[in-house]
């Protein structure tokens, strides 16, 4: 695929993510922070976010599964995930976390179980698109460096 | 202690989230080419600042250790396990050697009582997360104010040990130094996004 076609695919992917609410304006901030001196910045942040999110989701799954749920602990993890999704611009995940915290506050176990599923749904959808995004970026950068040689 | 007119400002960023540390570091370096050190806890921040908690008493004038680095601004997350950003703020403001270092607090939660508490505790600014490039503009004045206070304090200390001749020369030096700081502020403020 030509460089132009790759770039177009990436743009279309990003646009769809904004339109569908997967990403918000914060992601644009991240893109603004990437430049020649820090070309892998966005990829690095995305990777850190995904690692963080998956670690938290694993913990949450265990915690919400208990006979007696420790809602404070659950809330603390959801708060963390809300923070990192907010920092990376992961809008749908962030919103799902906000809902989740409501159920924690109400000590509502069923609500929490459902909310966790919603968060997971949005997170994995986003993760999928992030993977595609990073692959496209890598191919684009490889193209660029080939052209320069 | 001679102040190097070319020295960069050094910011210490404190956050328990690795992602947020990466972000704040990039924001700081992009907006003003600050020198940045990041740590993941309040206690590590105090170590970097040269304050050993075990030896600190409430009234002791703790002199910074020789191996600590000079920090011109501390920017810290509020919600951290163990020592919160507010706890760190208080420890810095209660230390005679560190109290003039400006402290900025960040939080993902917009809680007015929390914000007021921090500002009343001596924080210069309170940033809502996610922190933006435009927020970085608000740091400049605080860093310079801190630097100026530090120079004044040093000047006072040196003066009390010197005779008249050296005093005159040092007063001239200080004027030249504050001139260069003022000039640097006006040129760097043009560069801040």
Domain that holds residue B140: 9-52+67-152
Domain with residue B83: its CATH number is 3.40.50.2300
Q: CA B20 to CA B95: how far, in whole Å?
A: 27
Q: Answer whether B26 touches A (CB < 8 Å).
A: yes
Pick from A142, A82, A48: nearest CA to B21: A48
Is B191 within the bounds of a domain? no
Q: Measured on CA atoms in the order B55, B59, B65, B69, is the torsion positive or negative?
A: positive
Work out the pLDDT band at B184, boundaries 50, 70, 90. very low
Best of A25, A33, A49, A55 to disrupt the B interface (most B CBs within 10 Å) is A33
Task: Please judge whether B30 and A33 are an interchain contact, meaning their C-beta atoms are less than 8 angstroms apart.
Answer: yes
B88 occurs within a structural domain: yes
Closest chain B residue by Cα to residue A45: B19
Q: Is B192 inside any structural domain?
A: no
8 Å CB contact between A22 and A90: yes
Closest alpha carbon to A140 in A39, A51, A47: A39
Count: domains in chain B: 1
Kindly report the nearest CA distance between residue B161 and chain A, in angstroms. 47
Task: Decide if A105 touches B, using CB distance below 8 A.
Answer: no
> What's the ipTM?
0.89
The Cα of A8 is separated from the nearest Cα of chain B by a number of Å equal to 27
The 10 Å Cβ neighbour count of residue A149 is 4
**Has residue B179 been placed in a domain?**
no
What is the pTM assigned to this prediction? 0.80
B1 lies in some domain: no
C-alpha angle with apex B21: B16 to A131, nearest 5 degrees?
A: 105
User: pLDDT tens across A98-142, in order?
Assistant: 999 999 999 999 999 999 999 999 999 999 999 999 999 999 988
pLDDT per residue as tens digits for the range A47-93: 999 999 999 999 999 999 999 999 999 999 999 999 999 999 999 99
Q: Is residue B45 part of a domain?
A: yes
B77 lies in some domain: yes
The answer as to whether B164 is a domain residue is no
Q: How far apart are CA B77 and CA B126, in angstroms?
A: 10
């Amino acid at each position: 695929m030509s460089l132009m076609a790759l770039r177009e695919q990436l743009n279309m992917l990003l646009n769809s993510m904004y339109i569908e609410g997967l990403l918000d304006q914060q992601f644009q901030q991240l893109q603004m922070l990437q430049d020649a001196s820090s070309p892998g910045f966005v990829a690095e942040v995305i990777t850190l976010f995904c690692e963080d999110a998956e670690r938290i989701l694993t913990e949450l799954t265990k915690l919400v599964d208990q006979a007696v749920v420790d809602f404070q602990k659950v809330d603390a993890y959801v708060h963390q995930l809300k923070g990192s999704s907010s920092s990376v611009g992961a809008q749908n995940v962030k919103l799902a976390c906000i809902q989740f915290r409501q159920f924690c506050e109400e000590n509502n176990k069923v609500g929490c179980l459902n909310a966790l599923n919603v968060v997971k749904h949005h997170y994995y959808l986003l993760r999928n698109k992030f993977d595609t995004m990073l692959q496209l970026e890598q191919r684009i950068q490889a193209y660029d460096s080939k052209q320069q040689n | 202690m001679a102040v190097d007119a070319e020295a960069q400002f050094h910011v210490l960023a404190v956050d328990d989230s690795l992602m947020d540390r990466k972000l704040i570091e990039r924001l700081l370096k992009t907006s003003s080419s600050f020198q940045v050190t990041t740590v993941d806890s309040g206690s590590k921040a105090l170590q970097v600042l040269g304050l050993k908690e075990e030896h600190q008493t409430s009234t002791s004038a703790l002199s910074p250790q020789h191996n600590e680095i000079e920090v011109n601004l501390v920017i810290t997350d509020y919600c951290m396990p163990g020592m919160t950003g507010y706890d760190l703020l208080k420890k810095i403001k209660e230390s005679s050697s560190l109290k003039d270092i400006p402290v900025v607090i960040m939080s993902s939660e917009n809680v007015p009582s929390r914000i007021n508490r921090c500002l009343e505790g001596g924080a210069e600014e309170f940033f809502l997360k996610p922190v933006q490039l435009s927020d970085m503009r608000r740091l400049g004045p605080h860093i310079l104010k801190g630097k100026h206070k530090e120079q004044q304090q040093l000047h006072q200390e040196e003066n009390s040990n010197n005779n008249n001749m050296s005093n005159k020369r040092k007063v001239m030096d200080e004027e030249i130094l504050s001139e260069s700081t003022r000039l640097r502020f006006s040129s760097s403020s043009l560069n801040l996004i």
